[in-house]
Homo-oligomer: A and B are copies of this chain.
Amino acid sequence: MMKMRQYFLPTLKETPSDAELISHQLMLRAGMIRKLASGIYTWLPLGLRVLQKVINCVREEMNHAGAIELLMPTVQPAELWQETGRWDQYGPVLLKMTDRHEQNFCYGPTHEEVITDLVRHELQSYKQLPLILYQIQTKFRDEIRPRFGVMRTREFLMKDAYSFHLDQKSLEQTYQLMFETYSKIFSQLGLNYRSVRADSGEIGGKISHEFHVIADAGEDTLLYSEHGDYAANLEVAEKEGLKEGSPSPDGKGKLLAMHGIEIGHIFQLGTKYSDALKALVLDANNQPMPLIMGCYGIGISRIVAAAIEQNHDEQGIIWPQAMAPFQVAIVPINMYRSENVKKAAENLYEKLQKQNIEVLLDDRDERPGAMFANADLIGIPHRIVISERSLKSGVWEYKARSAKESTLMKPDELINHLF
C-alpha cells in the first residue's frame, strides 16, 4: 500500500520533552500527530489510518445494531442551548462565538440540543419508534488545561448516538443493545476494557455506564469485586459507601481497584431534553407524549491513545491487529546494493498488495538497525526481513511485533502463517 520514501512519516528519535504520557510520546515519535495549538492536533497520515480503522469498526457495528447515521453541524445556534438552559450551565468549556450578524453560536461539545430539535420537527408518531440516530463528528471542549496529547484535547472526534422511545421499557432494550454493541466494538478493536456503573453528570439522566480501557496511566479509578460482577467507578462506589478493600456488595470477595481510561459512556437520559425542547410524539391513543431518550458516546480519537497506553513496550507501539495502520512491514537489507534483495522485496510488496494486505515497504537507504527500530516504533504487527543471506537459504526472517525473537520461514509458509 505504501513505500516509505513516498510516504509522509516524520518519526522522531528523541522523546519530546513536553509529553508526559507514554501514548503522547509515542504518537509524536511515530509521526501520528502534531500539535497545532494547545489541545488542537493535526492527525498525520499514519495516525489518520489508525483513526479510520476505529471509525470503520464503530460505523459497521452501529449500522449492524440498526442505528442510522446522519451528520449534524459542528456550529450550533445559542438559542437551542438557551432553551435547555445549558448555554449558561455548561460553563467555560463551551466555546462560544459570534457571527458577522452578531448572532451567538457555540462549537458543539455534544449534540443533544441539535438532535432533539431535529426530531421534534420530524417525528410525529410512536409508530416511528424506537429510533437510533448516530454521527461521527468533530467536537470541541474548551478544556482549561488540555494535556496528554489526544487523550484530553479540545478538538476531538466522537461517535455520538441518540435513541428515542415511547416508554422506558423500549429505552432499556436499546440501552442493552448499545451496551452489547459497545462491548463488541471494543473487543473487535482488540482492547482490554471494562464496563462500570457511572454517574451521568452534566449530561443528565439516571442510569449510565462507562467503558474503560484498562491502563496504569488511566486517570479514573474503577472498583470491582474480586470474584463477582460488581463494577463501578470510584465516584459511584463512594456514594454507595464503598472503597478499595471493602467487602463486595455481591458477596464475592473484596473490592479491588484498577485504573481505566474512559472511551465510552452510555446514558438513559429520560425526558430531560425532550421536556425542555417539547419534543413530543403521539401515542396509540393519540396523546402527545415526551420522547424518552438515551445517548451513547464513544471517544474515537481517545481510543487511539488509550490503545497505545495498553499496548506498547520500550521500543514503541504494539498495535492490536484491528487498529494497525499497516499489517506487514517489509524490511529489505541493502536493497540499493543488491538487485536480488530489491526484486524480492518489491515482488513481495506487490504480492501482498494484490491480496489487499496493508503493507509498508521500507525502501529508504537506511541502516538495518534504523529500519527495525522504525518498524517497532510504529508498531506494525508483522515484520518480514529480506536479505541476501535469507534469499540464499530460501527462507525469510519473520518477527511478530509482540514476539521477542524472529523465526525463519519459507516464503509460502510465512504467507500462509500470516493470513
Chain A interface residues (CB < 8 Å from chain B): 6-8, 10, 34, 36-38, 40-45, 47-48, 51, 66, 68-77, 92-93, 95-97, 99-100, 103, 105, 107, 114, 117-118, 121-122, 128, 131, 133, 138, 140, 142, 144, 154-155
Contact = CB atoms under 8 A, between A and B. Distances in A.
Nearest to A133: B8
A87 to B, nearest CB: 14
A240 B128 CA distance: 59
A74 B74 CA distance: 10
A48 B74 contact: no
A73 B155 contact: yes
A154 B37 CA distance: 24
Contact of A77 (B36, B97, B107, B114): B36
A77 B40 CA distance: 9
How many copies of this chain does one complex carry? 2
Contacts of A118: 34, 42
A272 to B, nearest CB: 20
Given A76-B36, A121-B34, A71 B97 contact: no
Contacts of A131: 8
A95 B100 CA distance: 8
Given A42-B114, A105-B37, A142-B100, A6 B66 contact: yes
Contacts of A74: 74, 138, 155
A4 to B, nearest CB: 11
A45 B68 contact: yes
Given A42-B71, A70-B48, A142 B99 contact: yes
Given A34-B118, A97-B97, A122-B10, A75 B140 contact: yes
